[in-house]
């Protein structure tokens, strides 16, 4: 399909383990965002990529969180030494770039830390 895809759709991990979440944006979209949605809450911004660079990382909650983007396409969000409070749905969105406003979201990865 032509939409944003994310993998895995679900991830259960033990506390202290590292996890990697993947996002494939819409082809040609230069802007990419990661958000986190805790149960029953709205989305909170984590990080923004323009191309392969991340000019805004202000939403990353701690240095255990990092993200990269390669080839102006795929992005991975890595959480090291996971904690139970990291349990949430992690959503990726892409935007065409330039003066466009609309962000298009993937289905998310539901992360459960036990």
Partner 1 sequence: TQLLEQSPQFLSIQEGENLTVYCNSSSVFSSLQWYRQEPGEGPVLLVTVVTGGEVKKLKRLTFQFGDARKDSSLHITAAQPGDTGLYLCAGGALQGAQKLVFGQGTRLTINP
Can you spell out the DSSP letters for the chain? --S-EEE-SEEEE-TT--EEEEEEPPTT--EEEEEEE-TTS-EEEEEEEETTEEEE-TT--STTEEEEE-TTS-EEEEE-S--GGG-EEEEEEEE--TT----EE---EEEEE-
Task: Give the residue with the Cβ less far from partner 1, 18 or 44.
Answer: 44
> Of 4 and 88, which CB lies nearer to partner 1 in the complex structure?
4
Return the bridge partners of 50, or none.
31, 53
Residues making contact with partner 1 (CB under 8 A): 4, 31, 33, 35, 41-45, 48, 50, 55-56, 59, 91, 93, 95, 101-108, 110
Query: To the nearest whole angstrom, how small is the minimum distance from the Cβ of residue 16 to partner 1?
Result: 27
Q: How far is the CB of 108 from partner 1 (least distance, A)?
A: 5
Shortest distance, CB of residue 86 to partner 1, whole angstroms?
A: 19
Nearer of residues 80 and 105 to partner 1, judged by Cβ: 105
Least gap, CB of 111 to partner 1 (angstroms): 14
């Amino acid at each position: 399909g032509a939409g944003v895809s994310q993998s895995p759709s679900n991830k259960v991990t033990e506390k202290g383990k590292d996890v990697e979440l993947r996002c494939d944006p819409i082809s040609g979209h230069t802007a990419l965002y990661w958000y986190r949605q805790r149960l029953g809450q709205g989305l909170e911004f984590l990080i923004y990529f323009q191309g392969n660079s991340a000019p805004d990382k202000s939403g990353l909650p701690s240095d255990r969180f990092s993200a990269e983007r390669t080839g102006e396409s795929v992005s991975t969000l890595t959480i090291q030494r996971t904690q139970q409070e990291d349990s949430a749905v992690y959503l990726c969105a892409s935007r065409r770039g330039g003066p466009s406003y609309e962000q298009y979201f993937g289905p998310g990865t539901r992360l459960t830390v036990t």
